[in-house]
Chain A
């Protein structure tokens, strides 16, 4: 009995293409909200106020003229494709960050923020 070549080729393609696809999402969460920054006023807001609004900072950097409080959270998205012979993996991590510069009088002198975690994306490595 002659086997149909087309069916065999199709089977070959199917076997070579078999595998699994994975998508993953990882969040390093901290309850920092962009809208809360409206309550911060340099020269008036104190370090205590900052901690009341945003909680304890993720990191404190000691500076010569005070401290910097850093609040950070991140969102990672992973995409993986495992085929018979080839594996593709892609990871993208983006952060939301707020930085407060606090002087020796415990007053906020400057602050800056970046909210980029929404831009984290799934994809392939090419």
Chain B
């Protein structure tokens, strides 16, 4: 006599029970932290040897940092951009008289920065400009480099 027992609901029921059971054991976490406003690229209007501290402050606003370099002054504009992820699998067995629990975890994080540094002479004239756009670098390439 053929058995007509339908396995699909049984499978679904097992899954239904299994999901809450393993909920604490398997977890993936993704997070992003951004700090600071977008850093604009150096303006062509600010010419080295001509632009003044007033021009720079008018164009870019207040910097994140001010550094004194033996008379020279550097204004630093910065945006930090963090991305992180974690995948963990663990089976807590210590409550079942096992000496230890099983746990495997993989984590990775990448912090990138957009930076603009403007250097001024003691007279307040722009002497040098440095710019780096780290946030636009590809995530995986930057991570494994």
Contact present for A89 and B32 (CB under 8 Å): yes
Q: Is the C-beta of A92 less than 8 angstroms from some C-beta in chain B? A: yes
Q: Which of B8-34 contact A (CB under 8 A)?
A: 8-9, 12-13, 15-16, 19-20, 23, 26-34
Contact present for A89 and B19 (CB under 8 Å): no
Contact present for A84 and B58 (CB under 8 Å): no
Residue of A nearest to B82 (CB): A91
Contact present for A86 and B27 (CB under 8 Å): yes
Q: Which of A84-109 contact B (CB under 8 A)?
A: 84-95, 97-99, 101, 109
Across the interface, B32 reaches (CB within 8 A) one of A42, A62, A113, A125, namely A125
| Interface size, chain B (Cβ < 8 Å) | 41
With known contacts A85-B26, A113-B62, A11–B16 Cβ distance under 8 A: yes
Contact present for A89 and B53 (CB under 8 Å): no
Residue of B nearest to A126 (CB): B30
With known contacts A8-B13, A92-B34, A98-B62, A87–B68 Cβ distance under 8 A: no
Q: Which of A3-61 contact B (CB under 8 A)?
A: 3, 5, 8-9, 11-12, 15-16, 42, 61
Contact present for A116 and B16 (CB under 8 Å): no
Residues of B within 8 A of A114 (CB): 37, 60-62
Contact present for B70 and A64 (CB under 8 Å): yes
How far apart are A83's CB and chain B's nearest CB, in angstroms? 9
With known contacts A101-B53, A112-B57, A112-B60, A12–B12 Cβ distance under 8 A: yes
Contact present for B68 and A9 (CB under 8 Å): no
Q: Given A5-B12, A112-B58, 6 other A-B contacts at CB below 8 A? A: A11-B16, A70-B66, A86-B28, A89-B29, A90-B32, A99-B66
